Amino acid sequence: MPVKNTEVQYHIGLSQDQLCGARYALLPGDPGRVTPIAKVFDRHHELGQHREYRSAIAYVDRLPILVMSTGIGSPSTAIAVEELARIGIQYFIRLGTTGTIQPQINLGDVIISEAAVRLEGTSQHYAPLEYPATGSITLTNSLCDAARRLGIPTHVGITCSSDSFWPGQERYDSFTGYVLRRFHGSVEEWRRLRVLNFEMETAALFIVCRVFALEAASLCGVIAQRTESEAVRKDVYDIVQERLSKIAKTAISIHQTTVETR
């Protein structure tokens, strides 16, 4: 049964009439990144915040784009996709931060995910583990084309999505330093399997969108180079944020042209 335009979604606090006709959503995790991302666009206005979901409408020329935070992790990301789908969003692009496990990837570089390892639990509520977590080809290619046009150093490949920041990503700098035996050596294993990075949302985003016949892509900026150090480099945040925003803006213009010619 279709949701009425005036119905406010329970978790995100938005209704369809607030979206100004937007079909694209940019999804950073951190609510604090919503406004800086929106400011890169031609103009924007704030919508507000409900729970972890802060939102704004930005424009590429006259095309409205929703920018909305998802908070941390797969459960809140899946909720965001569920409710945004009900009010008309069709295209989802994650704009996140990440730690790389490959030595050839530098701090500040951008990673575009073709697919994701499902090391989280949320996606299993939508499809069995045998079902692959893959992004939209057209939306992903639009991100790749945009990064190439802008001359931003970019790597394309497989991401690993974990439900935890410390043990699931085999980090030993946690409160206790304890990591379950099942995760011992996992970083080296994923590295040898040519996985590029760890983060916490992409697999769920890809699965939910694929099951719902929606399109999704994932773009992350590298703020930790884990072959050198476990430290998160906050000094590259601004560089990463600007790069992600510019790529997303250009990619939407490219993708919109592709959609119009289908």
Helix (H) / strand (E) element for 99: namely strand 91-100
Catalytic residue among 11, 50, 191, 233: 11
Reply yes or no on whether 226 is catalytic: yes
Place of tokens 């965001």: 80
Contact predicate 80/68, CB 8 Å:
yes
Catalytic residue among 83, 170, 201, 215: 83
Round to whole Å and give the CA distance between 186 and 180: 11
Reply yes or no on whether 118 is catalytic: no
Round to whole Å and give the CA distance between 74 and 259: 28
Catalytic residue among 54, 94, 226, 243: 226
Q: DSSP class of residue 29?
A: S
Query: Nearest-CA neighbor of 69 among 88, 45, 91, 95?
Result: 95
Reply yes or no on whether 184 is catalytic: no
Catalytic residue among 118, 171, 210, 243: 171
Both tokens of 158, joined, read 């497989």
3-class DSSP assignment, residue 107 = coil
Contact predicate 145/255, CB 8 Å:
no
Place of tokens 């369809």: 16
Torsion of CA 204, 205, 206, 211, to 10 degrees: 80
Reply yes or no on whether 11 is catalytic: yes
Q: DSSP class of residue 166?
A: S
The terminus-to-terminus CA distance of the chain in angstroms comes to 28
The per-residue DSSP string of 148-211 comes to HHHT--EEEEEEEEES-SSGGGT---SSS----GGGTTHHHHHHHTTEEEEESSHHHHHHHHHH
Contact predicate 98/222, CB 8 Å:
yes
Catalytic positions: 11, 83, 171, 226
